[in-house]
């Protein structure tokens, strides 16, 4: 799988009948912050079939080669790259490097609680009181 950013779309009125009804998007490689990686429009962009309803500007996960034909939408179709996920957030080393516009992520509080000689992590959900 690769992280890519959707940078455009393709319109093709004449294509193989197995490609009918498929949305085609132009994707370019991006880094862990969702920023394009030295986009050379002659080499690094791909046309991908959209299996999940992605839109321009979104960071997506793609699969290529025979893996691109493993989704329900692309099975037995002449597809080389498929968008099979829209990224909501990327977290590296405990820090968010990318967060989809309009989303807010709050991490649950972690509290250490002793049980005999063993300490375990208890994840508090909501606004409960510490014990």
What is the tens place of the pLDDT at every residue in 2-56?
999 999 999 998 888 888 889 999 999 999 999 888 766 667 899 999 999 999 9
CA distance 44 to 16: 24
Domain ranges (residues) in the chain: 2-99
| Whether pTM exceeds 0.75 | no
Domain 2-99 falls under CATH 2.40.50.220: yes
């Amino acid at each position: 799988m690769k992280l890519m950013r959707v940078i455009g779309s393709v319109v093709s009125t004449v294509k193989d009948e197995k490609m009918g009804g498929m949305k085609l998007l132009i994707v370019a490689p991006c880094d862990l912050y969702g920023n394009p990686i030295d986009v050379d429009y002659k080499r690094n962009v791909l046309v991908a079939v959209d299996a999940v309803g992605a839109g321009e500007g979104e960071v997506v996960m793609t699969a290529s080669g025979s893996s691109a034909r493993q989704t329900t939408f692309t099975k037995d179709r002449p597809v080389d790259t498929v968008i099979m996920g829209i990224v909501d957030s990327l977290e590296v080393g405990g820090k968010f490097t990318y967060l989809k516009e309009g989303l807010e992520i709050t991490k649950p509080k972690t509290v250490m609680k002793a049980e005999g000689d063993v300490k375990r992590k208890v994840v508090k959900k909501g606004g409960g009181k510490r014990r």
